[in-house]
Chains A and B, each alone.
Chain A
Amino acid sequence: MQEAISFTPQLVASPIAQMLWLIPALPIVAAGVSALLGQPRRKTAAGLAIGSMSFSLLLALAAFAHVVGSWAGGVAARETVSLTWIQVGAVNVDLGWVLDPLSAAMLVMVTLVGLLIFIYSVSYMAHDENFTRFFCFLSLFAGGMLTVVIANSLLLLFMGWEIVGLTSYLLIGFWYQKPSAAAAAKKAFLTTRVGDVFFLLGMVWLFAQTGTLLFYNGGSGSMEATALASLLAQPAALGLSAAGAIGLLIFAGAAGKSGQFPLHVWLPDAMEGPTPVSALIHAATMVAAGVYLVARVYPLMQAGALTGGTTTALTVVTWVGAITAVFAALIAVAQNDIKRILAYSTVSQLGYMMAGLGMGGVAVGMFHLITHAFFKALLFMGAGSVIHGSHEEQDIRKMGGLKSAMPVTFLTYAIGMLALCGFPLLFSGFWSKDGILEAAQHWSANRAPFYMLVFGALLTAFYMTRQVAYVFFGQTRGEKHAHESPRVMTLPLAILAFFAVALGAIGTPAWPWFRAFLDGNAAGFDLHGFAEPGLLALMGTSTVVVFLGLGLGWLLYGGKSPAPEEPDVLEKASPLVWGWLRNRLYVDEFYGVTVIAFYAWWARVADWLDRRVWGGLVTFVAWSFRGWAHLNRFLDTNVVDGGFDKGCEELSTGGGLLVRVQNGRVQTYLRLLALAVVVLVAILIWSSRA
């Protein structure tokens, strides 16, 4: 468990903190402008998206540098800017943004990975007729995601969250002509919506309890001591405090977005979207938003924990994360679609992050989030390059031998793969995963998550070896000749590969810079970090596990090139288990016969009610209103005017119609006026007598 974090409160925010809103605003403006552009303006759209993202990256870097610069004496700055959005009587709803180590680190990651993927997309989507629309959606997504990152208010975060959900829907269904893409988009939207409902409930509850949705506000924010103490004192159901219950509701939202079990079903289907989308949204950023959200509301989750202890909320987070990690890794073993393997791997790694948050604190989970974002984006873009190079083929059994045809892709992909497996010492994934395993080892509540995560690491190494062996080694099984992708696609790969290796340096036990940065401690280089009890043994264990996974994978799949129709090696060994894994443990089918069947039944009931009961009622009300309105008009034109018109017709034969109407109506009006005055006086006198 981490210790309480101390931050210096800043009364007046620095200029860079004041300007932080520009970071999400620029891509949103770019999206708005490119939405107005015509389809042929492809270059402008791409230029706008990339330009705005570059500016955002520069600003993010400046903000990051500012936070690092202010991080003196072991205490990091937290600057907030807030403004009143809605004011009703004495109730204010404030929006605001925050610049602290957490948001600064995340900002740099999102803008950097985002920019690289934008550049990559220019080439990847070059032949698509809806190129402009694609960049409009991508920019809007980036704006929403960056809003989530800088938000200092749960409400602003939720707004960004919903933009992100919307653009995710739009981009998964980007090729809406494909029925499978349209279905996947709907599935993603509806599944994440289940989580969002809980999130919204938690938000409303938090507002009702604390009267503010700001996280930090100079002592009166909802994540600060006063509010937390009052939340803890408030009992909810099942022995939970209000803090724990709200934390769990918010976690349900996070689980939906981050594809945690049992809401993970949408993420693999989301691979129907274009590959850059998968890389950006469904690997690096949006799915990590859930993890980020948990990190943001961590004080709430942690509230009430004794030193070294844990809370119900964090325990739930840990178990959900650990189960997801193993569950998804198991399924990944038996998939044949290159992107689906990566998708399940993402689900599994998100489980690691959640478990890391639950057991080790913000820094442990966030470090894996950052490193994972780089190497998973790398893997997805590598996969995109492979798919592009082998003419839109996605089945790994139909590839093979691409090592020589696509050398750059192979090299970078291998780096990403080794980082994901947690290959010792050299790769960032090793250090971040090790941090999680270490936290699990020290977790006092239960040992099971540790073993589950170690098993997950074994599976990860195994399925990635299987994939790489199928795709890059052996003989070519595809019909067409594969080719290397253009420079504009491979260059981002190379940059990401660099980070996949280099990022490990800031999170080693000897120099835990990132952890100290997030936790607000002083960072120092100290080789004794390795000498902590059990650490070397743990590193040894995970090294053995990784080599075991790699070795097993290579033994079973390496150097062989089975025909696409041939059953898998493991399938021959145990068709039953393989069948279960192949069919994703039948979770979708289970939902189909339970939840979806129930909805279908309920929809029929509602349809019946609508047609028979409410429809009749509405028609009745509508008709009565129309009757009223017609009566009114009738009175206005016939009784008020008509009566006098008739009188006039009798009296006067000459004179224009205009004159008659004019005279008649005004006199009637004035009579009515006098009548109204008399009636009102009568009402007043009568009411005071009563």
Chain B
Amino acid sequence: MNYADLFRVTLPEFALEIAALLVLVVDLAFLRKAAYKLRIVVAALLGVAGCAAAAWAVLQQGSGGLSFPASHELLLATGGFTAVAQTGILTLTALTLFLLIDSEFTRHVGEYVAVVLMAASGGLLIAGAQDLLLIFIGLELLSLGLYILTAFAKSSGKSAEAAMKYYLFGGMSAAFLLFGFSYLYGISGSTNLHQILLAANGIRGQQAAPLLYVAIVLIAAGLGFKVAAVPFHLWAPDTYEGAPAPAAAFIASVSKVASFALLISICTAALHVFDRSASFVGATVQLSTATQPVFPGFRVPWSLVLTLFAAGSMALGNLAALVQISVRRLLAYSAIAHAGYILLGLAFFSYSPRSAGAVLYYVLTYGLTTIGAFGVVAVVERATGSDRLDAFLGLHKRSPLLAAVLLVLFLSLAGIPPLVGFWAKFNLFATVLGVSAGPVPFALVALAVGLSAVSLYYYLQVLKRAYVMPAVDETPIKAHPVTLAVLVLIAAAVVALGCFPALLGNWIGSFSPMM
């Protein structure tokens, strides 16, 4: 990869960084004396414009499909599912910026937007990264941004507490991850994912395997932290509870999409070495499915770890959510549960674009829905001063529109047809069963379906308070028209994508020439 190529593939990141600097300059230099409302609108709009420019660049690159160039110096992939994930990251970032317009947790809007954009550019990087160093840089760029965003409500002790916990936990995870990377480098002598995994597949004897296992677990720990998979989920409830609402929405959606895109990259690379049709020049050994080694070095332990994560996250997330009384913590545990479903799709992964498509379908629609959910929670929180379940009492009398949005989003999260959440789950589970037929995936899918039914209970707990139980306070809740418009738009998208499930599926498929 030469510098011209590198510039070309990092065009979206450049766009975001330029927008971030622009926001800072405009806010600090020109709008120092301007009204708070104006500053916030200008900053958010500039950020959205940056996202739009970056998305345009992504889609320009994305027409060719995902390619694995011959060089083992490959740093960044473009097109294919990377383009899908990057477009998703940018769209969701723009939506969280719109939610900012109504909030007043900070006076430093320029900094806030700039940090959001920089974190998003980190997300873009890891969605395409094919090299350990780049992955680490991208992850740190994203994570550091998230720590700052969590702490942004400086007057709130909760925010600071959450950020501190998040930071310490994240720092530890990053250390593990880096440690794991160093082992991988030691095993393979390369930082390129494909080279590493090719080398890892050669490890069959007992002598080097434990080293590889340690590396796999350390890496899985680092990435499990990012997606809040059990047992690395402990930060999530505190962070979701303490962070300012737009930041929490950003963490719950954008960061998830980027991290799952990275996991897709790793899973794809792990399988790439088995693929006969896609030539991988620079490798002397051509492995094919017909001559699979007795003990495939990377894939089986990796799948096992992901399976453990998935089962644990589904079970713990759903069960712990049942007894939450704070809606934000409830959403955190539900996020853990959703991460479990998605990890199931990654644990039983196929080289065909079908698995990547199903996972992206899930994580994109989940991100969209969860931003909307946090938006509603934020509005209710501002009006009532609390995110307890009881704050939602009589919501349909206080604001029928908000209650309707909440109804659509929560039912979609629970996977009720014809909303998009149903199709996401259906696609994912069907893909898992289609990829690997066996008692284990079947049992796990059965568990996932059963736990989805359990999850309906806690989502309905909130809706019951919004619709059925008598209101304590019937004063109407007012929300900023932009916030309302964004929320209604999200709810409408959830309904429309659910009624026409092939729309999004076809769009994702259009990036993969094989589909």
Contacts and interface: CB of A to CB of B under 8 A. Distances in A.
Interface string A622-633: 000110111011
A676 B172 CA distance: 13
B217 A88 contact: no
Contacts of A676: 221, 231-232
Contacts of A92: 502
Contacts of B214: 681
Nearest to B176: A677
Contacts of B308: 680, 683
Contacts, number: 104
A658 B220 CA distance: 31
Q: What DSSP secondary structure best describes chain B's contact surface?
A: helix
A83 B213 CA distance: 48
B485 interface: no
B491 to A, nearest CB: 16
Interface stretch (B271-279, B423-431, B439-447): B423-431
17 contacts: A84-B502, A88-B430, A89-B431, A626-B322, A628-B319, A630-B323, A632-B316, A669-B169, A673-B169, A673-B172, A676-B221, A681-B214, A683-B308, A684-B217, A687-B301, A688-B213, A688-B301
Given A632-B316, A669-B234, A688-B295, A89 B354 contact: yes
Contacts of A587: none
A662 interface: yes
Interface stretch (B33-41, B106-114, B160-168, B462-470): B160-168
Interface string B190-220: 0000000000000000000110011011101
A662 B161 contact: yes
B301 A684 contact: yes
Contacts of A625: 319, 322, 454
Contacts of B161: 658, 661-662
Interface in B12-54: none
B235 interface: yes
Interface residues of A, number: 34
A683 B164 CA distance: 31
A633 B320 CA distance: 6
Contacts of A662: 161, 164-165
Contact of A89 (B169, B209, B323, B430): B430
A681 B501 contact: no
Contacts of A89: 354, 430-431, 434
B71 interface: no
Interface centre among B305, B308, B502 (most CB of A within 10 A): B502
A607 interface: no
A666 interface: yes
Interface in A508-564: none
Given A673-B172, A681-B213, 11 more contacts: A86-B502, A666-B168, A669-B165, A673-B169, A673-B232, A680-B305, A681-B217, A683-B304, A683-B308, A685-B210, A688-B295
Contacts of A83: 502
Nearest to A93: B502
Q: Which 3 A-B pairs rank lowest in CB-CB distance, beginning with the nearest?
A: A676-B231, A629-B322, A684-B213
B384 interface: no
A264 to B, nearest CB: 34
B454 A677 contact: no
Contacts of B320: 629, 632-633, 636
A670 interface: yes
A666 B165 contact: yes
Given A669-B169, A677-B218, A84 B506 contact: yes
Nearest to A681: B217
A629 B434 CA distance: 32
B323 A629 contact: yes
A687 to B, nearest CB: 6
Contacts of B209: 685, 688
A87 interface: yes
B351 to A, nearest CB: 14
A682 B505 CA distance: 40
A683 B301 CA distance: 10
Interface string A70-85: 0000000000000111
B231 A85 contact: no
Nearest to B309: A680
A665 interface: yes
B211 to A, nearest CB: 11
A672 interface: yes
A251 B304 CA distance: 52
A88 B305 contact: no
B316 A87 contact: no
Interface in B121-174: 157, 161, 164-165, 168-169, 172-173
A92 B295 CA distance: 37
A507 B196 CA distance: 78
B7 interface: no
Nearest to A674: B172
